[in-house]
Amino acid sequence: MGKSLFQKVWDSHTVGTLADGRTQLFIGTHLIHEVTSPQAFGMLRDLGLQVKYPQRTFATVDHIVPTINQDAPQDPLAAEMMQALRKNCDDFGVTYFDLSSGKQGIVHVVGPEQGITQPGTTIACGDSHTATHGAFGAIAFGIGTTQVRDVLATQTMALEPLKVRRIEVNGQLHPGVYAKDVILHIIRLLGAKGGIGYAYEYAGDLFDRMSMEERMTVCNMSIEGGARCGYVNPDAKTVAYLSGRPYVDMDNFEATAARWLSFASDADAHYDDIVRIDAAGIEPTVTWGISPDHGVAISENIPDPANAVTEIEKQSIEEALAYMKIPAGTPIKGVKIDVAFLGSCTNGRFSDFQEAAKYLKGRKVAAGVHAIAVPGSQIVAIQCEKAGLDQIFRDAGFEWRAAGCSMCLAMNPDKLVGDQLCASSSNRNFKGRQGSSTGRTVLMSPVMVVAAAIEGCLADARQVFGLVP
């Protein structure tokens, strides 16, 4: 029997078995940012340790950077975190894509952009959306700060092996249905806990046709489905995307590409579970509640606790609806929004802004809606600006901001106020996620964010933009 990509990468990176039975896994690439690394460097100093492979460690600043005047945070705590990262990178010899580098951005946008993210490697980052890098056929783990210390000090960490679930999606998506809808649909089907103990392999002809950006959107939200990581097997698109990027060794590229491709799952690979989904059955999907698996198609109604099957389900729907302040059993379409946020590591890449701008062009954000567009990196910002997209956003009434995580988690000044409801292209709709303890988040694709911004309420982009379903 053949091996899955997960198994191949795991086996080739195994250092040994630890006394507690866990595997000591070599981490090929370590990405760090300002929020989860300072304490880890503190622990390293306390133990008198160095960074084992500083050349395999890359830093950027993303969570706390202001998106207006990036380098001048008004918040002294944010400034302290930025200084701490600078000092830690200098002291330990780590490459730092800082604000003046022209390469700064959300760590999960920067890694692929620089060609640091490569197939057949292991990647770790003190950030749960590290799964994004799986789009390249890497096994990428989000880790805690003590593990960040372990990886800094030893370039390894202790891990339990995972099971592998192949999620096969075949068929054509209807117009107006995007990668974001695919992953929201998968999470809705399998649940927010459905992936616990698993790595997700996304396969089938839909993923074969997807661009690298789309694959990143899907892999990004593996964690919202409970999976520890998610990946797409590397193919010619993966190789083409990486060719010529700064951290890709172009001497001997053919051999490198062949090695990358050799990690793809064998045709007779063993899977612990297989799920099959028809792409044509996926509609534009939005969340209605406070967990990423609270999803509905835009044409559907908000769930009614009266129809719940179990008492637990009933309570969970009631809790979510009470928080969201939306009525049970009524259409999700038409729910009024206050804020539209386009950005994040899920949907903050050039192609996201390009697709959104295509429909936004010549239209206006509804009165009373505060709309912001936040590129995922400085490079994305420049690409968009060169293509004139920033002007399309500005003309429509969006604020065009500088790169960072921004309102995805609101550690910078971009926050919801009170119980504002935000149409958001980000990945989490937890209570309080966007900076106000009563703020409300509805997750959706970038084009659906634009449709909601224009209409002032949750809207079906296919109707707003005349796409035939």
User: Which of the residues 404 through 423 are near other proteins (CB under 8 A)?
Assistant: 409-411, 418
The H or E element containing residue 96 is strand 95-97
Q: Does 224 bind ligand SF4 (CB under 6 A)?
A: no
Answer for which of 52, 163, 237, 314 binds other proteins (CB under 8 A) is 52
In total, the chain counts a number of residues equal to 469
Q: How far is the CB of 374 from other proteins (least distance, A)?
A: 16
Part in contact with ligand SF4 (CB under 6 A); list of ranges 15-23, 226-234, 235-243, 405-413 = 405-413
Q: Binding to other proteins (CB under 8 A): which residues in 266-295?
A: 291
How far lies 418's CA from each of 343, 421, 436, 438, 439, in Å? 21, 9, 6, 6, 6
**Shortest separation between residue 407's beta carbon and ligand SF4, angstroms:** 9
- Which residues 6+ apart lie within 8 Å of 195 measured at CB? 165, 222, 225, 226, 227, 228
Determine contact, residues 260/150, Cβ cutoff 8 Å: no
Q: How far is the CB of 84 from other proteins (least distance, A)?
A: 5
CB within 8 Å of 452: residues ≥ 6 apart: 337, 340, 423, 442, 444, 458, 459
Contacting ligand SF4 within 228-287 (CB under 6 A): none
- Coil, helix or strand at residue 270: coil
Question: Residue 230 belongs to what H/E stretch?
Answer: strand 229-232
Looking at the Cβ atoms of 335 and 405, the one nearer to ligand SF4 is: 405
Report CA 237 to chain centroid distance, whole Å: 20
- Within 265-377, residue ranges assigned H as helices are 311-324, 350-360
Residue 19 is a binding residue for other proteins (CB under 8 A): yes
Q: Which helix (H) or strand (E) holds 15?
A: strand 14-17
- Sole binder of other proteins in the list 7, 156, 425, 426 (CB under 8 A): 156
Taking a C-beta distance cutoff of 8 angstroms, is the pair 369, 456 a contact?
yes
Binders of other proteins in range 248-267 (CB under 8 A): 259
Q: Tell the smallest beta-carbon distance from residue 360 to other proteins (Å).
A: 29
Query: CB under 6 A: which stretch of 68-76, 254-262, 312-320, 403-411 binds ligand SF4?
Result: 403-411
How far, rounded to the nearest angstrom, does the alpha carbon of residue 294 sit from its chain's CA centroid?
A: 18
Q: Is 51 helix (H, G, I), strand (E, B) or coil?
A: coil
Minimum CB–partner distance for residue 217 and ligand SF4 (Å)? 12
Please report whether residue 63 would count as binding ligand SF4 according to CB under 6 A.
Answer: yes
Q: Which two tokens stand for residue 380?
A: 């994305």
For residue 113, state whether it binds ligand SF4 (rule: CB under 6 A).
Answer: no
**Cβ closer to ligand SF4: 108 or 401?**
108
166 within 8 A of 274, measured Cβ to Cβ: yes
Please identify, using beta-carbon distances, which residue of 286 and 409 lies nearer to ligand SF4: 409
> If binding is defined by CB under 8 A, does position 93 make contact with other proteins?
no
Could you say which of 165, 180, 428, 462 contacts other proteins (CB under 8 A)?
A: 428
Q: Is 126 in the site for other proteins (CB under 8 A)?
A: yes
Query: Which helix (DSSP H) or strand (DSSP E) does residue 29 occupy?
Result: strand 29-32
Is 37 among the residues that bind ligand SF4 (CB under 6 A)?
A: no
Q: In Å, how far are 40, 73, 81, 416 from 76, measured between CA atoms?
A: 21, 7, 9, 21
Q: Is 128 in the site for other proteins (CB under 8 A)?
A: yes
Q: Does 4 bind other proteins (CB under 8 A)?
A: no
Residue among 8, 13, 401, 440 that touches other proteins (CB under 8 A) = 13
Residue 405 found at the interface with ligand SF4 (CB under 6 A): yes
24 binds other proteins (CB under 8 A): yes
Which partner, other proteins, ligand SF4, none, binds residue 62 by CB below 5 to 8 Å per kind?
A: ligand SF4
- Report which of 415, 407, 409, 418 is spatially closest to residue 325, judged by C-alpha positions: 418
233, 137 in Cβ contact below 8 A? yes
Q: Is 42 in the site for other proteins (CB under 8 A)?
A: yes
Of 11, 75, 272, 385, which lies in the binding site for other proteins, with binding defined by CB under 8 A? 75
The rounded distance, in Å, linking the Cα atoms of 287 and 293 is 7
User: CB neighbours (10 Å) of residue 203?
Assistant: 23
Per-residue binding string, ligand SF4, 335-354, x by CB under 6 A, is ---------xx---------
- Binding residues for ligand SF4, per CB under 6 A? 62-63, 106, 108, 127, 129, 344-345, 405, 408-409, 426-427
